[in-house]
A and B are shown apart, each in its own frame.
Chain A
Amino acid sequence: MRSPSSLKQEFLKRWMRGLQRCTSSKKDMNVLERKKVIKLSADLAIASARNGTTSWSRALIANASRDNDNRILAERILGPESDILIKRVSTSVGTVSCNRKIRSKKILKRSCNSVRRVRKGTHLPQKVLAKSIAKRLVQKRTQILKRLVPGGEFMDELSLIEETLDYIAYLRAQVDVMRCIASATELINHD
Chain B
Amino acid sequence: MEPNPGTLAGSISIRSDQEEAGFESLQFREEIQRLIAVPPENASSFTALLELPATQAMELLHSPHSEDGDPAPLSADSLHGISDDHKSYISSFNGNLAFPSNKALVERAAKFSVFASGENSPETSLVPSNSSANLEKVKSEPAETDSNPNSSQPLISDPTVESKTQRSAKRKEREKKGKGCTKKSKNETSKDAQKLPYVHVRARRGQATDSHSLAERARREKINARMKLLQELVPGCSKISGTALVLDEIINHVQSLQRQVEFLSMRLAAVNPGVDYNLEGLFATESGSLVESNFPSMVAPLVCPEIPFNGNRQHYQQQWHFDALQQPLWGREEASHTFINPENSLLSYDSANSASLHSNQLKMEL
Binding site for B on A (CB under 8 A): 1-9, 12-13, 16-17, 19-20, 23, 31-32, 34-35, 37-39, 42, 53-54, 134, 137-138, 141-142, 144-145, 148-149, 157-158, 161-162, 164-169, 171-176, 178-189, 191
Nearest A residue to B219 by beta-carbon distance?
A: A158
- Interface of B, secondary structure class, is helix
Choose from B262, B296, B324 the contact partner of A188 (Cβ within 8 Å).
Answer: B296
A169 touching B277, Cβ below 8 Å: no
B328 touching A161, Cβ below 8 Å: no
Choose from A6, A16, A178 the contact partner of B261 (Cβ within 8 Å).
Answer: A178
Q: How far is the CB of B283 from chain A (nearest CB, A)?
A: 7
A145 touching B291, Cβ below 8 Å: no
B233 touching A171, Cβ below 8 Å: no
Mask, B246-286, CB within 8 Å of A = 1, is 01101101110110111011111111100101111001000
Residues of B within 8 A of A161 (CB): 223, 226-227, 230
B70 on the A face (CB < 8 A): no
Residues of A within 8 A of B328 (CB): 4, 172, 176
Binding site for A on B (CB under 8 A): 79, 84-89, 91-92, 190, 219, 222-223, 226-227, 229-230, 233-234, 242-244, 247-248, 250-251, 253-255, 257-258, 260-262, 264-272, 275, 277-280, 283, 288-289, 291-292, 295-296, 299-300, 302-304, 320, 323-325, 327-328, 331, 338, 342, 345-346, 349, 353, 356-357, 360
Give the complex CA separation of A142 and B280 in angstroms: 43
Q: How far is the CB of B139 from chain A (nearest CB, A)?
A: 30
Give the complex CA separation of A13 and B91 in angstroms: 22
Nearest B residue to A159 by beta-carbon distance?
A: B190
B88 touching A3, Cβ below 8 Å: yes
B264 touching A179, Cβ below 8 Å: yes
Q: How far is the CB of A81 from chain B (nearest CB, A)?
A: 17
